[in-house]
Structure 1
Amino acid sequence: MTRPVPSPTWMGEAPPAPPTPRSGDRLRLSVRCVCVVLVFLCGLGAMGVSRLIETVLRRSDRPLSVHIPRLVSRATVAILGIGLTIRGRPMRHAGAVVCNHGSWFDILALNAASNVFFVAKSEVAGWPGIGLLARIAGTVFIRRDPREAAAQARLFETRIRAGHRLLFFPEGTSSDTRRVLPFKSTLFQAFFTEDLRARMWVQPVSLRYHAPSGEDPRFYGWWGDMAFAPHLEKLLKARRGGRITLVFHPPLAVAAHRDRKALAAACEAAVRDGFSAL
């Protein structure tokens, strides 16, 4: 019997030691926690109302709710005092977006820059809090199981036909933000169906974190068996000065590549070039 193919977790080196406590940490933590919770609650309320309207109007392209994660993400990035620089232009037409993966915070950074729907492993749907937010935001959940490849291709096609831009991380795991891991080509196969290949575009994006002054360069990285809560607390306490740079590269036509491996290699090359340039 064919079993699901697990996505190996990148372990790398040991994570950096926790930052030395400083005056003002607790106050920043408290204030930012309150602000972030309020922003997310407002976002959930707005998402619920907009999804109801879209359901009544039968708008599968989600013209209202697609903007809410972007607004919530921009507000959260600003509350945490992280600078966000965007180079290039997010493509406007439906298709897919691929990016290197260094942290759970990638989702907020990318949502803040463009209206996208994420593709995530099925386990995320069951995570407390995050799973609920992901479902409400229209995340596409998949299992890395060869038996489900055809069903996933149909799901991708349905979402893309509805005008959605699907974003996934081809590395299959996060790193320490200091490198780009090899891209896996499995999910690219869905774009080579007869109905999609001729009109499908994929946009590579390079994401680079710049740690706050005096902090470990891997400050924002989240990898291996690092727990989510302590990492979130570290970001909420951090002083201003950290930055994120996103580079949106020219979209690649699926039809211009012979197969999924060639397309994955082209996307990886673009992401690596942009990452190195930063």
Structure 2
Amino acid sequence: MTSTPAKPLAAETPAPRDPTWVSPDGDPPPVRIGPLGWLVLALRLPVLGLVVFGGLALHLTLRLLERPLFGLKRPVTPFVTQAVCRAAFLVLGIGFRTRGRPMQGRGAVVANHVSWLDIFAMNAPQRIYFVAKNEVAGWPGIGWLAKATGTVFIRRDPREAKAQKLVFEARLRAGHHLCFFPEGTSSDGLRILPFKPTLFAAFFDPDLAGLLSIQPVTLVYTGPPGRDPRFYAWWGTLGFGGHLVRVLAQIRQGQVEVVYHPPIPVAETPSRKAMASRCEAAVKAGLIAGLPEGSLRD
């Protein structure tokens, strides 16, 4: 196995951002919301807020006891996060299902990035911790949630590479399953963007490589009946608020499926580029199998 010097790990979480990918098919089509849709929105929004921020309050309260007793291990609060994310899909009316089994050993989970809904989809079946660029910590709302749920914040500064590696190593040794999106941005859900190999570099540190595996995961979104198949995808110039409104106002919802592929041991992979390629191929195969025939786009 050839080792690659550790570099700072950075990834985008599903949160408000400047658009970094433009679909060759154009921006998301506009969605007209009728009177009944606005009523559904008015009913769902406060319930969703109660679930998310009520769960956050419970999480923070439990963390006051958990932190001094267990430190990084967090044996209780991740279950609160899971319950909140499962409840969110019930409130939204979006079908949720999984296929395959989440990894049990140490390592990371990587997936295609489609929407802010990915936060709920990835957290609902498995206790994970997102990896995010440091700027996310300062974002209103999202930043608070990210901090509370144990997100690992990374600065893209070579001078901090050593300190970040130590943080990263400590979290992995504590048994945390870290999650990041190697595409670096969200797409329309009908294609897989190239996986950036730089994001895998930290796993090939000689002190960690023999301990870790990386599990590819495919997120397959099915749009509501009669809607554009890209309905749940968040990309281009559509803002977070606009996308949230259209999802909450949708009366008949579609579904999301989380497909777990076999974990790939780091020690059996020659380089970060090879790992990125293997993960990308597995995620793409899952999308091909999950979408209607002929739906995948290059």
- Paired residue secondary structure (2:218): strand
The answer to whether the 8 A contact 2:216-2:283 is kept is: yes
Q: 83-92 or 42-51, which moves further after superposition?
A: 42-51
Distance 1:149 1:240, change over 3 A: farther
Within the candidate set 112, 120, 124, 2:132 is matched to 120
CA distance in 1, matches of 2:172, 2:111: 18
- Any unmatched runs of 5+ in structure 2? 1-9, 13-18, 291-298
Aligned residues: 274
1:80 paired residue among 92, 96, 110: 92
The yes-or-no answer on 1:230 pairing with 2:242 is: yes
Q: Distance in 2 between matches of 1:119 and 1:230?
A: 25
Moved more, 52-61 or 236-245: 52-61
Q: Residues of 2 paired with 1:59 and 1:90: CA distance?
A: 24
1:10 to 17, 21, 41: 21
Report whether the alignment pairs 1:194 with 2:206.
yes
Task: Point out which structure has higher relative CO (alpha carbons under 8 A, 6+ apart).
Answer: 2
SS of structure 1 residue aligned to 2:75: coil
Deviations along 1:225-272, one digit per CA (max 9) or x if unpaired, are 321101101111012331101110011100001111111111111111
Map of 1:54 onto structure 2: 66
- Structure 1 equivalent of residue 223 of structure 2: 211
Contact 1:153 1:191 in 2 (8 A): no
Give the secondary structure class of the aligned counterpart of 2:190.
Answer: coil
Q: Is the 8 A contact 1:149 1:190 kept in 2?
A: no
How far did 1:147 drift? Answer: 4.2
Bigger drift between 163-172 and 216-225 goes to: 216-225
Q: Could you list the per-position Cα deviations for residues 129-172 of structure 1 after superposition, in whole angstroms to 9, with x for gaps in the alignment?
A: 11111111111112334444433322211101111000000001
What is the RMSD computed on CA atoms of the aligned residues?
1.7
Partner of residue 256, structure 1: 268
Q: 1:186 to 1:147 in 2, by over 3 A?
A: farther
SS at match of 1:60: helix
Cα distance in structure 1, aligned partners of 2:164 and 2:270: 21
4+ runs deviating over 6 angstroms: 5-8
Q: 1:239 to 1:135 in 2, by over 3 A?
A: same
| Equivalent in the alignment of 2:103 | 91
- Residue 19 of structure 1 corresponds to which residue in structure 2? 31
Identity among equivalent pairs (%): 51
Q: Does 1:247 align with 2:259?
A: yes
* CA deviation after TM superposition for structure 1 residue 24, in Å: 1.3
Determine if contact 1:40/1:72 at 8 Å carries over to the other structure: yes
CA distance in 1, matches of 2:202, 2:165: 4
Give the counterpart letter for 1:130 in structure 2. I
Query: What TM-score, normalized by structure 1, do the two folds share?
Result: 0.94
